[in-house]
Amino acid sequence: MKVLSAMQPSGTLHLGNFFGSMLPNRGYQDSADQALFFIVDLHAMTTVHDADVLRKARHDAARDYLAAGFDPEKAVIFFQSAVPEHAELQWILSTLTPMGLLERSVSYKDKVQKGIDSSAGLFMYPVLMAADILLYDADKVPVGKDQKQHVEMARDIAQKFNNAYGETFALPEPEVREEVAVVPGTDGQKMSKSYGNTIPLFGDEKSIQKAIMSTLTDSKEKDDPKDPDTCVIYQIHKLLLDESAASALADEYRNGLPYGDAKKRLFETYMDYFGEMRKKHEALKDDFVAEVLYNGAIKAREIAVPKMEAVKRAVGLL
Ligand code: ADP
Ligand code: TRP
């Protein structure tokens, strides 16, 4: 089984990203025959038009993922733009992608509604994503719910290509992480950078502490029994505990653990849980990060270059 996924270099990673995407994806490094992960800096250009911002964002994303255990010994890890075949294949695929297919993209409509300028690049986003996937003949593409339609589009485009030019691409399957619980943010809604309710994974300890201490609670008095099932602090805390520790903590809530203490305990557990990862993040040298990603691109191109050659043969460019 060949697994491929990719991540946007967009901002500070948070606990929701960790449990919702990083942890399950990281697991494929051990379970898949081959795992490919890349940072989609070309896709990021549909919303970022500042060179310094993009440069920093892609580098920061690489550092974050390496610190979080994405391992170049086990997976191929690279920047999308370092493999020019992605953009090259995108063009070829675009020539058989119906406009109607792209017009149905929910993500495109959402983004335009949110005020993002509707460039041709933004409209073509799903075609570049199809190229990302088809170039490597990925079987399985783990994504969040919002990206399922894009993987289905990649499958449609692969089918169109295969019909027109003969069997060339494997048909990818989206693997939607339905079973992953939505991580609540500090205000009880889904944790998301667009709601300003996140607990960051990296960065200074003070901002983690501030985020945790600001977690919403109800108006129960200090010693009143608390309901762990409706308490956001507990819902976050239990993600970091094994079953027996989580159930012992739930009992403490029922026995009146004050919210202030509950937050302090969460902060301690948080720093403990992510301690190693955060240390690694600090220790990673820029040159090392750049070298790892450079070597990853070389490995990716060992697959992408011959695949592109086969595509060119199929369409009559060779
Ligand atoms: P944000 O909502 O902060 O912008 P992204 O959309 O960049 O997050 O999310 C990247 C990945 O992390 C997605 O696959 C998404 O499913 C996962 N993710 C983000 N927030 C959460 C959350 N609160 N709970 C579970 N998964 C999440
Ligand atoms: N569009 C995806 C997101 O916003 C990122 C992405 C780009 C991707 N290319 C991909 C995901 C290929 C999986 C496979 O999260």
**pLDDT tens digits, 100-156:** 999 999 999 999 999 999 999 999 999 999 999 999 999 999 998 889 999 999 999
pLDDT value at residue 235 = 96
What average pLDDT score do residues 257-271 get? 97
pLDDT at 189 over 80: yes
In the beta sheet, which residues pair with residue 38?
A: 6, 78
Residue to probe by mutation, ligand 2, list 38, 40, 47, 102, most atoms within 8 Å of CB: 40
Tens digit of each residue's pLDDT (9 = 90 or more) over 278-290: 999 999 999 999 9
**Domain range spanning residue 246?**
193-278
DSSP 218: -
* 303 and 258 housed in the same domain: no
Structural domain contains residue 168 = yes
User: Among all chains, which residue has been given the structure tokens 């027996």?
Assistant: 244
Structural domain contains residue 187 = no
* 125 and 23 housed in the same domain: yes
CA distance 74 to 33: 10
* 70 and 132 housed in the same domain: yes
Cα distance from N-terminal residue to C-terminal residue, the chain: 30
Residue to probe by mutation, ligand 2, list 83, 147, 173, most atoms within 8 Å of CB: 147
Structural domain contains residue 186 = no
Q: From the CB of 194, is ligand 1 less than 6 Å away? A: yes
Percentage of residues in the chain having pLDDT higher than 70: 100
C-alpha 106 – ligand 2 centre gap (Å) = 14
User: Among all chains, which residue has been given the structure tokens 């403990």?
Assistant: 272
* 15 and 140 housed in the same domain: yes
Structural domain contains residue 154 = yes
CATH of the domain at 261: 1.10.240.10
C-alpha 242 – ligand 2 centre gap (Å) = 31
Whole-prediction pTM value?
0.94
Q: From the CB of 6, is ligand 2 less than 6 Å away? A: yes
* 172 and 217 housed in the same domain: no
pLDDT at 179 over 90: no
Q: Which residues contact 256 (CB under 8 A, 6 or more apart)?
A: 222, 223, 224, 225, 226
What does R_g of the chain's alpha carbons equal in angstroms? 22
Structural domain contains residue 188 = no
CA distance 122 to 136: 23
* 222 and 105 housed in the same domain: no
What average pLDDT score do residues 204-216 get? 96
- Across the chain, mean pLDDT equals 96
Q: Which residues contact 201 (CB under 8 A, 6 or more apart)?
A: 12, 13, 14, 15, 17, 18, 64, 68, 274, 277, 278
Structural domain contains residue 112 = yes
Q: From the CB of 16, is ligand 1 less than 6 Å away? A: yes
CATH of the domain at 27: 3.40.50.620
* 94 and 171 housed in the same domain: yes
pLDDT at 178 over 90: no
Q: How many domains does the chain have?
A: 2
Structural domain contains residue 253 = yes
C-alpha 6 – ligand 2 centre gap (Å) = 5
C-alpha 237 – ligand 2 centre gap (Å) = 29
